[in-house]
Amino acid sequence: MASVSLLGVALVGAGAPAPVSHTDNGRRIFLHGTTSAGRVVENSHGMEGMGCAMCHGPDGRGGMMHGIPAPDITYAALTDPNGHEHVFMDRRHPPFNGETIKAAIVAGIDPAGNTLHEEMPRWTGLSPADLDDLIDYLQVLSQGNRRPQPGPERM
Ligand code: HEC
């Protein structure tokens, strides 16, 4: 059995990712809930291998989880100068900024001081650097993913 586990270790070593960019770290956390170093990000749901994309969608534009809307979390949407009205939750709050986005992710607090629904995990395992990388990635999502213009093929 020892040889089997040694083989496992060797394979993990061989597959270890080369050093990657900050945005790549943010992308992995967003998509898979693991850092680019392969660390599972601890969260209040005890999820492993699942990231923000599971509920907020692979493009960050929002989705539904257990009947509760998971909002658009692209950076541009979160920092919309008009703030948000969450009709379903009967709640509104002013626009997010980088710091208040972090408070929402780690502690489930929005810019008005409201507590987010527990369906939104508290991502306690993110280091300050991980949080910066994740927010970088939310910025990438808002740049690359404007709402498609209506065209014949989408009608
Ligand atoms: C299991 C589903 C789930 C996962 C996974 C998840 N969220 Fe959420 N998130 C939600 C739900 C549901 C809400 C809405 C909660 C509410 O309105 O009270 C939310 C709200 C938020 C908000 C507040 C948005 C607003 O407009 O008030 C932010 C920011 C956010 N999530 C970021 C993230 C990030 C970043 C990740 C990944 C690290 C993540 N979420 C993973 C379900 C999820």
Count of all residues that appear for the chain in the document: 155
Indicate which residue's Cα is closest to atom 7 of ligand 1.
120
**pLDDT, tens digit, 9 for 90 and up, residues 68-111:** 999 999 999 999 999 999 999 999 999 999 999 999 999 999 99
Per-residue pLDDT at 22: 81
d(CA 102, CA 16): 28
Q: Is the CB of 119 under 6 A from ligand 1?
A: yes
The token pair at 61 is 């534009």
Per-residue pLDDT at 143: 86
Ligand 1, atom nearest to 114 Cα: 18
Would you call 47 exposed, middle or buried from its count of C-beta atoms within 10 A (0-12, 13-18, 19+)? middle
Ligand 1, atom nearest to 78 Cα: 26
Q: Is the CB of 101 under 6 A from ligand 1?
A: yes
